Structure 1
Amino acid sequence: MAIAKILWVDDEIESLQSQKIFLENKGYEVQTFTNGFEAIDYVKENMVDVVLLDETMPGITGLETLAKIKEINQQVPVVLITKNETENLMDEAIGSQITDYLIKPVNPNQVLLSLKKIIDNKRLVAEKTTTAYQQQFRNLFMALNSNPDYNEWMDIYKKLVYWELEMEKSDSPEMREVFQTQKQEANTEFFKFISRHYANWMSSKTSDAPVMSHNLFQFKVLPHVEKGVPTFFILIDNLRFDQWKAIQPLFADTFRILEEDSFYSILPTATQYARNAIFAGLTPLEIEKQFPAQWKNDEDEGGKNLFEEEFFKGQLKRLKRTDIKYSYTKVVNHADGQQLVSNMHNLLDNDLNIIIYNFVDMLSHARTEMEVLKELAADEVSYRSITRSWFEHSPLNQALKKIADKKINLVLTTDHGSVRVKTPCKVIGDKLTTTNLRYKHGRNLNYEPKEVLAFREPKQAGLPVPTINSSYIFAKEDCFLCYPNNYNYYAGYYRNTFQHGGISLEEMIVPVIKMTSK
């Protein structure tokens, strides 16, 4: 590791020789000057990691020296050392972008701590992260191999998301690779788990099933709707749990987070199935039975999510909650977003306000179409970063800030997540086979059975039967389904893009967050 170079400027530097030796023994290189002019000249010619700067010096003061040093090198951290504890000096110093502030007389350990915070912070955090994950690795490994139930799977996935975010602090590519392998193993086991249990969950025979898309409102939302306190139900399309964690600090600035929960998206983990199920409170098979004119299959013409409000009305009626006064707003472009901002105060008269925001979905679909987005969201880290940047500057954030001072409840959720696909898997089907990359349905599908979960009887998965002898297949882990014609082109084109519709922790275990105003 390179030796860090410290520049210490103090007109009484002679009396600080013992401190200089102390720092040199700790492995720092220390250059000293007795006045600001020499320090400024030195910074012009030399690289410096940290400047320790006395505030009161003859000739040119510490603050004046600080200003000149920052003109030469904006990035260099400066620690101001002073006898003067007056508030206006502190304000001025902080305004001049000092990194730290020490009051004289300083003892060697104070200076050392300040340097460690500035120079070694990243390294120390990275080392601690790596060590902590090494300790956790075994616990996660044991949890994966102890036949987890659906609650334990939600817990495992949250821990994996936690470590994925922590790994951003680690500078060890080896540890990141170990983590990615562990996440892949988790998805392999999760696919087996879903293959074993999904049909039971979707049959009405078992009461032992997780909260899923079609009973999300019944169990996680409507019990919290109370008269006199408006509840805002915000569904951001296609928001993974790690993307929620990326925007969580922005929500925490304005709202108190009461509960960070999750639920299982139904299959296919795609908008027209999962989101219609949320609002109807029914499986797609039941929606088709009860609303035959409104339900549309993949190959039908027209929009697939045009009747959510009608479906929701039906759900309220079935659950005997028609007393709830609600509004329904869908934002699919920037103009809709601006409209929402202006209308926010009018919504405070309702018991429940449903807001569907389509941004993340547009991003993940656009990402496969537009080269610039392929560059921007090349991996999970940048995908989270774009999500955060979007939300921070979005009309949705503006709209929520407008009502943050009112007494409200907030439920933030999504319909499904997405997964970065890497492994092409061959599928052969007739011309009516659907085009989605993570699930397909059609007649005469040919595929490698190990690569998918297949339902020859769609009803077992709570799905309508679009045509006689039609079956559904769902891709596992990071597979994407490609036809043999032009196979290499499509395999290359879609590899490393974010897709949804299949079976993975990222697509199926999704956030539902309860918040209230502070």
Structure 2
Amino acid sequence: MKILWIDDEIDLLKPFIYLLQQEGYEVETATSGEDGVELARREVFDLIFLDEIMPGVDGLEVLRKIKNENSQQIVVMVTKSEEEDLMKKAYGSWVDDYITKPFSFNQLLSVLNRTLKRRSIISEQMAEEYATQFRTFSEPADYLEWVDYYKSIVSWDLRLLDYGSNDLKVLQKEKKHEANAGFAKYIENNYRDFLNGKGPTLSNNLFAYAVLPVLKEGPVHFVLFDSMRLDQYYKLSNSLREFFEINTEFYYSILPTATPYSRNSLFSGLLPLEILQKFPQYWSFEEKGQNRFEKELFAELLKKHNLRIKYSYYKLSSIQDIERSINSIVNDKADIVITVINFFDLLLHSIPGRGDMKGVLDDERVLLNLLGYWFPLSPIFEIFKRLSKKQRRIILTTDHGFIRVRKPTIIYGGRSISPNLRYKYGPALRVDNKTALLLNNPGDISLPYEDPSVRFAIAKEDYYFIYPTKPTEYEKEFKFTFQHGGISMEEMILPYAIMNPR
């Protein structure tokens, strides 16, 4: 069992810490609220003892920050007061228990055992709640129900990270696989209707539906994190709630769920084939540079809506880019300031030495914990903090999500097949239609093509494409990697947040 004790007078507590260590507990300490919050972000603790009165940031504020990062974290408040008002304040901020100074070691052990036992009880209750919820499950009937179901799955993912039994986690993984199989069938049957306006907000109409109404009320910063999944959004939005009131809505990415298609569509207000037809100079069939005309496409979008406003555009691919641009972004007085941040790559590049990369990519809990630690310390977070002080409204979203691929499917075709693992295009493509959506005419779903012989294949669920030559080698190389471009809830169902400064 691992304990964190946060107290500015930690030296006075050394006898208790020693006795806890003798009982087999591992104890780490922090002498300030700021250090305690940082440790709680970086490491996993079974329980935190938190002093209620400390210089600087007080205990209740530290408690709120810790719970915003991880609502399941067990925290015991150490206080000198038994006043009812104080305890209500503390419990209102999700404190799990409290102990009053002065206390004996036996009293400390009693609180410790009582609180950790509660964790076991919570796990049992969680199993019952999980069984009850999914016993009555019926497959979603429309796009709104799929959003609600996906939100429920992600909520359970996050809850099970800390409290769920291994059996429950295995069951959850199976439920998610089943859900994605059903979701793929739903998309295959209904996606064409979506494109005709009978469905959710899509990439190409996100601006008109979500951004334009906010823009009419005043200046706005539009921030797009490349490749952000809903569980990551929930994690980082918890950190931002200290500075913003956040209203979360959802939209669907177009297919393929990849940057050249989804993001170009978002900034142009057009489907990919429409971009090629109306602005062929802004569409490229080359793999590199397919998104280099986003600013120009956005200018055309403003013309389409007869908007004569000032706009700025920033694309940030590295921490150095952000540090160089942060003052310009924060002080920009344009009516709409667009900031595109290569979010997922920046997160992965934050791993010290990059030596732990495999461990991070093999364990999604580690990835989320890394995000929880890295984001509040990053210059990206600083942008949000400074914008909140300037009372600027923000719309935060992403262009697509991603999924960990697990199952290979062989794709056949000529030598000119595109290299992507979740979608392919080229002549004479052949693939098992149980594992991928095969489009003999890409124009049916408004995808551009250079030649009438070109076909598209888009992987379903958690499949990824491998070639018939050296299939074992390809399978081993790419299995369990994070990919995007296909049909899954994680890649298609995306959050966008309207954020008002507090």
TM range (shorter): 0.7 to 0.9
Report if the CA contact (8 A) 1:340-1:395 is conserved: no
Counterpart in the other structure of 1:321:
307
Report if the CA contact (8 A) 2:484-2:491 is conserved: yes
Shift of 1:380: 2.5
Using a 3 Å threshold, how does the CA distance of structure 1 residues 173 and 302 change in structure 2: closer, same or farther?
closer
Using a 3 Å threshold, how does the CA distance of structure 1 residues 478 and 365 change in structure 2: closer, same or farther?
farther
Q: Deviations over 1:124-174 (max 9, x none)?
A: 3323322221221224x22x2xx5101111111111111111111224111
TM-score by length of 1: 0.76
SS class of match (2:282)? coil
Counterpart in the other structure of 1:272:
260
Counterpart in the other structure of 2:213:
223
SS class of match (1:449)? coil
Separation (CA, whole Å) in 1 of partners of 2:265 and 2:179: 27
2:344 is the counterpart of 1:360: yes
Aligned letter for 1:47? E
Shift of 1:116: 5.0
Structure 2: gaps (5+ residues) = 2-11, 28-44, 63-74, 80-98
Give matches, 1:452-467, under 5 Å: 452-467=436-451
Counterpart in the other structure of 2:390:
406
Separation (CA, whole Å) in 2 of partners of 1:398 and 1:485: 48
Report if the CA contact (8 A) 1:377-1:386 is conserved: no
Counterpart in the other structure of 2:147:
154
Report if the CA contact (8 A) 2:282-2:297 is conserved: no
Q: Which of 216, 232, 235 does residue 221 from structure 2 map onto?
A: 232
Shift of 1:327: 1.0
Report if the CA contact (8 A) 1:48-1:76 is conserved: no
Q: Which of 197, 201, 204 does residue 211 from structure 1 map onto?
A: 201
Q: Deviations over 1:382-432 (max 9, x none)?
A: 232233333222221112212212222111100000000000100111111
Separation (CA, whole Å) in 1 of partners of 2:273 and 2:50: 69
Separation (CA, whole Å) in 2 of partners of 1:105 and 1:44: 17
Give matches, 1:38-77, under 5 Å: 43=19, 46-47=22-23
Separation (CA, whole Å) in 2 of partners of 1:492 and 1:178: 25
Q: Deviations over 1:69-114 (max 9, x none)?
A: xxxxxx9989999xxx9999xx99x99x9953445899xxx98983
SS class of match (1:337)? helix
SS class of match (1:403)? helix
Aligned letter for 2:120? R
Counterpart in the other structure of 1:292:
280
Counterpart in the other structure of 2:290:
304
Give matches, 1:242-257, under 5 Å: 242-257=231-246
Counterpart in the other structure of 2:316:
331
Separation (CA, whole Å) in 2 of partners of 1:127 and 1:79: 24
Shift of 1:291: 1.0
Q: Deviations over 1:30-76 (max 9, x none)?
A: xxxxxx99x7798399426699xxxxxxxxxxxxxxxxxxxxxxx99
Using a 3 Å threshold, how does the CA distance of structure 1 residues 425 and 127 change in structure 2: closer, same or farther?
same
Counterpart in the other structure of 1:201:
194
Aligned pair count reads 438
SS class of match (2:339)? strand
* Identity score, percent: 34
Aligned letter for 1:307? F
Shift of 1:301: 6.0
Using a 3 Å threshold, how does the CA distance of structure 1 residues 306 and 86 change in structure 2: closer, same or farther?
closer
Shift of 1:306: 0.6
Structure 1: gaps (5+ residues) = 3-35, 52-74
Report if the CA contact (8 A) 2:258-2:485 is conserved: yes
Give matches, 1:429-448, under 5 Å: 429-448=413-432
Using a 3 Å threshold, how does the CA distance of structure 1 residues 492 and 133 change in structure 2: closer, same or farther?
same
Separation (CA, whole Å) in 2 of partners of 1:250 and 1:154: 23
Using a 3 Å threshold, how does the CA distance of structure 1 residues 119 and 467 change in structure 2: closer, same or farther?
same
Q: Deviations over 1:308-341 (max 9, x none)?
A: 011011111111222x321111101122101222
Counterpart in the other structure of 2:494:
510
SS class of match (1:123)? helix
Separation (CA, whole Å) in 2 of partners of 1:273 and 1:41: 56
Aligned letter for 1:182? K
Report if the CA contact (8 A) 1:285-1:459 is conserved: yes
Separation (CA, whole Å) in 1 of partners of 2:339 and 2:164: 40
| Bigger radius of gyration | 1
